[in-house]
Every structure is written in structure tokens, then in C-alpha cells.
Structure 1
Amino acid sequence: MRRAVLATTGISALVVALLALKPHQFPTLAGVAPQSPTSSASPHTPTTVSTGTGTFTGDPIDTQYGTVQVAATLTKGKITSVKVLRAPDQNGRDQQITSYALPRLTQEAIGAQSAHIDAVSGASYTSQGYMQSLQSALDRAHA
């Protein structure tokens, strides 16, 4: 009985330790060329919008499953909404993933006031395309 308790406790501690070591970086996606930020900030420093009012359309980003493109609406430099113009929808699975991921990505972007947000699990390619398109829209707002 004592061995079972020790084994269970040890395994639980190992799992917790491994989860704590999870890297907090964007996944590198095959077929998607990363775009370098246009600001002088480090890649891990969120780029926030400081000026701009209007709706700015981001670049269409080709992913393994289709093109992602968004338009960001800003009011006095604050992201007030993000509209998805294009998203992967070739089959039912694509539609299921985008219907789950895109609202979460939009909520994250508005909350963070940035394109530097966490990817949605199970939608890595769509998340990366969303973030890159949103960043290009925010770059246009700065111009």
C-alpha cells in the first residue's frame, strides 16, 4: 500500500514538473514563413498600437490548410474589433476548427491589444496565420 502511494505521488509530481517546463513560444509551422516584426521591440515584447483610428486590413497569410486574413478596427489606437475576412473552410473539420479558434483568438487580441497572443490548441496553423495577418493590420495602423 505504501509503495502505491509513493508511486502515485512521484508520478504526479513528475507530471506537474513537466507541465511547468512547457515553452511559451509560437510553434514553427512548416510551409509558413515567419514575418519579422517591423518595430525595434524584441520578438517577445508585445507590440501595442499607440495611434490610429479606422479599419485596417491585414495581409492574407497562406497556411497549410488555407488562407487567413483579418481586418482590425481601431479607435484612438485601441483594438475594438477584429473581423475575419478569410479562414480555412475547405471541409467540415476546417470549419469546426475555425469556428472554435477564431472567436478565442479575437477575444485574446482585443484583451491583449496586440497580435502577440497565445495560439489555440489544435489550431496552430490558423492561429499563426491569424496573428501574422493581425500584425500586418496593426503595422498599417502605425503608418
Structure 2
Amino acid sequence: MKNVGDLMQRLQKMMPAHIKPAFKTGEELLAWQKEQGAIRSAALERENRAMKMQRTFNRSGIRPLHQNCSFENYRVECEGQMNALSKARQYVEEFDGNIASFIFSGKPGTGKNHLAAAICNELLLRGKSVLII
């Protein structure tokens, strides 16, 4: 056997007449293998990105309670919360130029953890590493 074409011819001679081969030539077989390889490669890349994102997320310190927090689902009930939301969004938008960390302070129940998690979730989606302490 010298090449794939020879193999295909040999297999066709051995197959019963009622069985039709999926590929008529070695080139068709190689093209199919190349296509399938590209499809599998893309799937593996997606899986690797998802696993990396999950590992990064797991190390972030975001508690399960806050994993779905975002700026969009933050409920604003007073002017102070509107200001905090605005500052949190601004921090994310200017993140690459920021040097310092972001610290929240205030009374219990005002949404500090929600906004901190929203910042982290947004930065994680942008491929950044984060840590909530």
C-alpha cells in the first residue's frame, strides 16, 4: 500500500456490493478528516476557555449568593445607591488605567456585596483576574 487511494481501492474490492462507502477517494477521506479535526479543535478550544474561566471564577472569592450579580440587576432605592452604581460602573470602564483597588463602605443592606460582585463578574467576562476579600 503506497497511499490512501490504494487503501480505498483495496477496501472497495473487499466490501460487499450492497455496502456503499462514505468516501470514493482518498482525497475525500482526507478532506473529511481535516474538517472533523477542525471542528473538534474548535470544540476543545471552547472547552478550555470555559474551564479556564471557571477556575478563575472559583478563585475570585465570589460567594454562590453573588455569582449572578450584575449592574443590570442591582436595585437602586436611593440616591446613595445610584452614586455607588455609577462609581462601580466607572471603575470597570476605567479599570485598565486604575492603580488602586475599589473599597465599599456603608450601612448593611445597601448592596455593597452585590456591586463588588458585579464589578468582579464584569471584569471576569473581560478576561481579568479578580479577588473579593
Structure ranking higher in strand proportion: 1
Q: What TM-score comes out, normalization by structure 1 length? A: 0.35
More helix by share: 2
Query: Looking at CA atoms only, which structure, 1 or 2, has the larger radius of gyration?
Result: 2
TM-score, normalised on structure 2?
0.37
